[in-house]
Amino acid sequence: MITLEREYRLFQEMLPDLMSRAAGKYVVIHDAEIARICDTHKAALDWAYDTFGLDRFFVKEITEEKPVMHFHR
């Protein structure tokens, strides 16, 4: 089970709406709400750490991502 399951689920639920208005940007989710949308990953992290300190938060690019592929021994 992933740590940020609640936030990831919210992200997936909100993704169609986010894609229509902010594709390619980065969303910050905190306390089960979208807290901010930023243009870059760095800007989203800076804002989240400045605002929430070391508290729990979630940052993700707004994209229809394909599953990551890992092949190794």
Minimum CB separation of residue 63 from other proteins in Å reads: 11
- Residue 21 vs 72, nearer CB to other proteins: 72
The SS3 call for residue 45 is helix
Whether the CB-CB separation of 13 and 7 falls below 8 Å is answered with no
Whether the CB-CB separation of 37 and 25 falls below 8 Å is answered with yes
**Does 21 participate in binding other proteins (rule CB under 8 A)?**
no
Q: Which helix (H) or strand (E) segment is 22 a member of?
A: helix 5-22
Q: Select from 22, 50, 62, 64 the one that contacts other proteins (CB under 8 A).
A: 50
**Does 63 participate in binding other proteins (rule CB under 8 A)?**
no
What is the token pair recorded at 48? 């989240």
Instruction: Please report, as ranges, the residues that interact with other proteins according to CB under 8 A.
Output: 1-5, 7-8, 41-42, 45-46, 48-50, 53-54, 56-60, 65, 67-73
